[in-house]
Structures are given as structure tokens and as C-alpha cells.
Structure 1
Amino acid sequence: MRRIAKSALIVAFACAPASGGRAQELFPVARVTIYPGDRITDAMLEERADAVARETEALYSRSRDGLIGKVARRTLLPHQPIPLIAVDNPRIVTIGAQVKVIFAESGLHIVTYAIAQQAGGVGDIIRVRNQDSGLFISGRVQSDGSIRVGEG
């Protein structure tokens, strides 16, 4: 009798999920090799269950939709999870580009042009050099490629 109970316990333990009873989470992984500078599309991704160890989950992207449209910062290998630091927003302002600088506050609008000293994507704060005065100013990149200064 005791031998049957021991066998049943061994079988039950062997059939238990390896993840400690938690549901398997799907992580987006590269379907093909994605090279630095490539814009990530839906066709380049697939999902894989438990692609990363539980203690390192915070370091990897969990959302397939959050990766689409981003740019690879380094080579992403097929069937490997994608680290958060390996992707970036696309750069819409490049170093040396002439950009429109907008200051708007309380009905006052000032527009001038400057030279970008840094590359940046939407929402990034970058430095630009005013063409007239030569002064350096910082502002936030807008979706149209302009720089908004004086946000607070």
C-alpha cells in the first residue's frame, strides 16, 4: 500500500508544471535576424512561451505591439527574447539637421530655427544651437520634427 502511494506522489510531481504552477506567459521573440537600424514589423516577430527566466522578465519586452515600429539598436537573433534596451524609438531629428524651434506660452508664440546637436525621437529632450545667437538650448522633440522649448 505504501509503495502505491509513493509512486502516485512521484507521478504527480513529475506532471506538475515546471513554472511552479504559474501560467506560461508569451514573450515576443524575433522570427528572423533583425539588424541594427531595422524598423521592426509584425512579420519579424512571433511569440514564445516562457522565453525568459522568471527573475529576468523585467528586462525583456512583454508586448508585441510595443515593439512594432521601433528600431533595433543591436542585432536581434531569431527565437531569442528582445531586451528592452535593444530597441529604441525611431529618430526623426538627426545631428546637424535644421529644426524649427517653438516657444509657446500664454498666447505668446516665438518660432525660430536651430541646428540639432543630438539625434532624437518623439518625446526626447535634445540640445540645439540657435542659428542667430549661437546659444545652446534644450527642448522636446515633437511628432512633426519641431522642438518645443520652455515647457516649465
Structure 2
Amino acid sequence: MMFRRSAARVAVESRKARFMRSLASAAIAAALLSPGLAAAQQPTAVIPKQTIYPGETIEASMLEVVDVTNPDITDGYVGSLEEVEGKVTKRTLLPGRVILTSALRDRYAVERGSTVRLIFNKGGLTITAAGSPLEDAAIGELIRARNIDSGVIVSGTVMADGTIHVVAK
């Protein structure tokens, strides 16, 4: 036994087919006419051109920006050169592998054993002295330092100019 399609059903199916064809052609035209939009959505990653060892300062000439083609890649990798330049590596970076943000750190503003200026401010009183940091630290970190003249160990915040602002107890 065979059934015939009704004329109304055939008309609805043909309208659906025409709509789908026009939708597909519009999508193809949009993709062809705007390649800049498709490229802007493509994520990028920064990879080393050479092996970079721990403690080295990263420069732009050591790196290459590539498009990410693996949709399953985890987050936490560096996407632009601005995020990396001037940073120091914590571990070995291999050529062709993405650079994880956890593998980088800021440069140290003060290094252990060097001579720095200790500054203490309280109201209108300012005291400065020569000191020696007891650990490496970046800008904004709280560290301990030894006053060279008295031998007293104080805590302070590392500033951008390389001085340590002593905190009051």
C-alpha cells in the first residue's frame, strides 16, 4: 500500500528546502567576503624558536606567534608577545611548545646579598639606611632585609626604584 503526499505537505517541505539553501549560501558568502572576521576569532599562542633556559630574560627575537589549531588545548598559555617580553623563565621552554604563564615570572627588583636603601617614613620623620636583602624579590613583595650598620633584620616592601620601604612593627 502506498501513500501519496498531500500538496500542502510538499509545499511546506519545498519552502523549508529553499530557506535552508538561502541560509547556507548567505553563510558561505559572509565567510568569503569577511576573511578578517574569521581570522580575528582564531586564537594565537606564543612559542619559542629556540630552547630558553631557566633564569633567562625573554626577548621578542626568541619567540614566534602562531595560530592555535588544536581546539582541546588547555587555558593558561601566553597569547601575545606583550605578555612575555621582559619576563624571566622559571623552567626550560622548548621550541615549538606553547609557553604557560606559570612558567614565567617578573624580573627581580632586588637580589639577595646586594646593597639597597632602606627607607622608613612615619609622619614627618624619614630614616634611610643601607641594607642587604635576605631574599630575591620583585616589585611589591614583602621581604626581610638586614640593616648593614646595626645588623637588625627588618621587613619591608620592594619599590620600583629598588628601595625597600620598611614597615613599622
Query: What is the TM-score with the length of structure 1 in the denominator?
Result: 0.73
- After TM superposition, the structure 1 = structure 2 runs for residues 1-152 of structure 1, keeping only pairs within 5 Å, are 23-50=41-68, 56-57=74-75, 59-150=76-167
Q: How far has the Cα of 1:94 moved from its partner?
A: 1.6
Q: 1:128 to 1:53 in 2, by over 3 A?
A: farther
Q: How far has the Cα of 1:54 moved from its partner?
A: 5.1
Hey, what's the Cα distance between the residues in 2 that align with 1:24 and 1:151? 51
Range moving further from structure 2, 73-82 or 44-53: 44-53
Q: CA offsets, 1:43-101, max 9 Å, x none?
A: 111112226765721x2223321210111121111121111121111223221222111
Quick check: 2:91–2:103 contact (8 Å CA) kept in 1? yes
Quick check: 1:99–1:146 contact (8 Å CA) kept in 2? yes
SS in 2 for 1:35: coil
Length, aligned pairs only: 132
**Matched letter for residue 48 of structure 2:** A
Q: 1:48 to 1:115 in 2, by over 3 A?
A: same
SS in 1 for 2:74: helix
Quick check: 2:44–2:80 contact (8 Å CA) kept in 1? no
Q: 1:32 to 1:55 in 2, by over 3 A?
A: closer
SS in 1 for 2:111: coil
CA RMSD of aligned residues (A): 2.7
Quick check: 2:65–2:80 contact (8 Å CA) kept in 1? no
Q: 1:106 to 1:114 in 2, by over 3 A?
A: same
% same residue = 37
Q: CA offsets, 1:99-137, max 9 Å, x none?
A: 111122433211112221101122222211223443322
Quick check: 1:27–1:51 contact (8 Å CA) kept in 2? no
Query: What is the TM-score with the length of structure 2 in the denominator?
Result: 0.66
Quick check: 1:51–1:80 contact (8 Å CA) kept in 2? no
Query: Displaced runs of 4+ in structure 1, greater than 4 A?
Result: 51-55
Higher relative contact order (Cα pairs below 8 Å, separated by 6+ residues): 1
Gaps of at least 5 residues in structure 2 are: 1-16, 18-23, 25-40
